[in-house]
């Protein structure tokens, strides 16, 4: 079975670097996949992608080696299993608040007896190899998003769920859930306290921790803290930042 580059990074004892794809388009996905990321995640939650976009984006990425991932729109077994059958190597599931919710999520990603995933990896076999069924459970990564105070309160149970590979912090929602302002790269002390608690709980339970970042500076800080995966925003925000910077730097003189 084709290896998972994020897991290879962890085997090398380094943090993995991921990026989100917020907009549909196979060419954009192909270009981003070519840049050397450990993971590339199609965002079906807040991005403007759906399943009909996901498949061609995965196909265009497959000539390169980042782990193809998806952030599903919700903890729904139907879209989780369908995305896995399309060939994703990791699933990021939003708003996991309890151990029971986490068990339902992980179960949808694992074949029996570890879970209840239905057998039928139609495209995954072509991407990953004919031995997919034998190795999928140990290759596909499960990320439970920690985004609320309720989730922080239930960290010990969530992080102990068998088959969960990692937690993934959404700093903006986490801030909002405790009365703060939305936005990435949170540094408010009450948010940072919860980020540190989540990181510690993950490592105490022998799993990994990832976090969504808006800048390389913040990502580097999180790696220094000990995070195992950092997401460097999305192609949409990279495009905006680059275009705005070029526009601001262009000196236009009156005609």
CATH number at residue 69: 3.20.20.60
Q: By residue range, what is the domain housing residue 102?
A: 5-239
Mean pLDDT on 159-169: 98
Work out the burial of residue 215: count CB atoms within 10 Å of its CB; fewer than 13 is exposed, 13-18 middle, 19 or more buried: middle
> Is 244 within a domain?
no
pLDDT band (50, 70, 90) for residue 98: very high
Predicted confidence at residue 252, as pLDDT, reads 73
Distance CA 126, CA 198 (A): 37
Catalytic center residues: 46
133 by Cβ neighbours in 10 Å (0-12 / 13-18 / 19+) ranks as middle
Given this model, what pLDDT does residue 255 score? 57
Q: Is pLDDT at 5 greater than 90 in this prediction?
A: yes
Domain-located, residue 173: yes
pLDDT of residue 251: 79
Per-residue model confidence as pLDDT tens digits over 55-87: 999 999 999 999 999 999 999 999 999 999 999
Percent over 90 (pLDDT), the chain: 98
Would residue 147 count as lying in a domain? yes
Whether residue 161 has pLDDT greater than 60: yes
Query: Is 21:234 a contact under the CB 8 Å cutoff?
Result: yes
The total of structural domains in the chain comes to: 1
User: 247 lies in a domain?
Assistant: no
Q: 253 pLDDT band (50/70/90 cuts)?
A: low
pLDDT at residue 254 tops 70 = no
Does 53 map to a domain? yes
**Segment (H or E) for 18:** strand 16-21
Query: Which DSSP category does 9 fall into?
Result: H
pLDDT at 122: 96
**Mean pLDDT computed over every residue of the chain:** 97
In a domain, residue 255? The reply is: no
Question: In this structure, is residue 251 part of a structural domain?
Answer: no
In whole angstroms, give the CA distance from residue 174 to residue 196.
12
Asked whether residue 249 is assigned to any structural domain, the reply reads no
């Amino acid at each position: 079975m084709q290896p998972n580059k994020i897991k290879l990074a962890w085997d090398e004892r380094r943090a993995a670097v991921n990026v989100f794809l917020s907009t549909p388009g196979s060419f954009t996905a192909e270009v981003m996949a070519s840049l050397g990321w450990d993971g590339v995640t199609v965002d079906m939650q807040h991005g403007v992608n759906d399943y009909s976009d996901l498949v061609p984006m995965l196909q265009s990425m497959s000539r390169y080696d980042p782990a193809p991932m998806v952030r599903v729109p919700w903890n729904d077994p139907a879209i989780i299993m369908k995305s896995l059958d399309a060939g994703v190597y990791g699933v990021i599931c939003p708003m996991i608040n309890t151990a029971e919710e986490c068990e339902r999520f992980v179960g949808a990603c694992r074949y029996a007896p570890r879970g209840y995933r239905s057998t039928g990896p139609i495209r995954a076999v072509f991407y990953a190899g004919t031995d997919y069924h034998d190795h999928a459970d140990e290759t596909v990564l499960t990320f439970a998003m920690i985004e609320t105070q309720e989730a922080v309160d239930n960290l010990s149970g969530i992080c102990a769920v068998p088959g969960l590979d990692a937690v993934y912090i959404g700093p903006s929602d986490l801030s909002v859930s405790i009365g703060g302002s939305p936005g990435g790269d949170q540094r408010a002390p009450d948010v940072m306290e919860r980020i540190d608690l989540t990181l510690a709980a993950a490592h105490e339970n022998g799993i990994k921790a990832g976090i969504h970042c808006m800048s390389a500076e913040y990502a580097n800080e999180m790696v220094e803290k000990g995070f195992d995966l950092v997401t460097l925003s999305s192609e949409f925000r990279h495009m905006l930042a680059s275009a705005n910077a070029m526009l601001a730097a262009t000196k236009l003189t009156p005609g």
